A and B are shown apart, each in its own frame.
Chain A
Amino acid sequence: KAGVTQTPRYLIKTRGQQVTLSCSPISGHRSVSWYQQTPGQGLQFLFEYFSETQRNKGNFPGRFSGRQFSNSRSEMNVSTLELGDSALYLCASSLDDRGTVSGANVLTFGAGSRLTVL
């Protein structure tokens, strides 16, 4: 069973540019969430998508956006890049467990996309 695939793995951009990152979830997983990892702030939740709808959003500026397609693949976009956006962006997928009492569905993470802003 293929894992969560993120592309590209590494990229370099300059301030003011925009970037789009892609995430293909595990087959059958319908929920995709994104996290930003930096040395200073650690791992922070960006947003979550399910059935092409954003269900939850973290405390990030509007420059950070995302979407999910009908095949559950997701993209996130960062516009007007700033130096502080340099980070590892992690995507995670899971089965959706809303409405169950278990809550035990686990997030499976991809290897991440490392963005460097110069």
Chain B
Amino acid sequence: AQSVTQLGSHVSVSEGALVLLRCNYSSSVPPYLFWYVQYPNQGLQLLLKYTSAATLVKGINDFEAEFKKSETSFHLTKPSAHMSDAAEYFCALRGIQGAQKLVFGQGTRLTINP
């Protein structure tokens, strides 16, 4: 079975500080991993994706994530938080055999303090 665990349902950082959102996964097949962001009253927007081409993945708005197979992790980082980063972030997994089905983590709500 495949699963995604996001550590910390709420994360709060100061504007300009490092953002670190944690994601661990479990998969019996090499996974494809994604980070999505959701702003209030909106759908999900893709931040970045891992598809085995490179372990360090860069996404939009200076977000990046590193795939670590030995730790089964795919943590999301951003060097300097901006007020506009306040949103809910979801890590998702898709196995090769999983077609278009994504398994999502529970989400992490990011708050930015001025």
State the A residues within 8 Å of B (CB).
Answer: 4, 6, 31, 33, 35, 42-45, 48, 50, 55-56, 58, 90, 92, 94, 98, 102-104, 106-112
Contact = CB atoms under 8 A, between A and B. Distances in A.
B51 A102 contact: yes
Interface of B: 32, 34, 36, 41-46, 49, 51, 90, 92, 94, 96, 98-107
A83 B70 CA distance: 43
A112 B100 contact: no
A98 B99 contact: yes
Contacts of B94: 103
Most chain A C-beta atoms within 10 Å of own C-beta, residue among B41, B44, B51: B44
B43 A106 contact: no
29 contacts: A6-B43, A31-B99, A33-B100, A33-B101, A35-B102, A42-B105, A42-B106, A43-B92, A43-B104, A43-B107, A44-B104, A45-B103, A56-B98, A56-B99, A56-B100, A90-B43, A92-B44, A94-B100, A104-B32, A104-B51, A106-B46, A107-B46, A108-B46, A109-B43, A109-B44, A109-B45, A111-B43, A112-B42, A112-B43
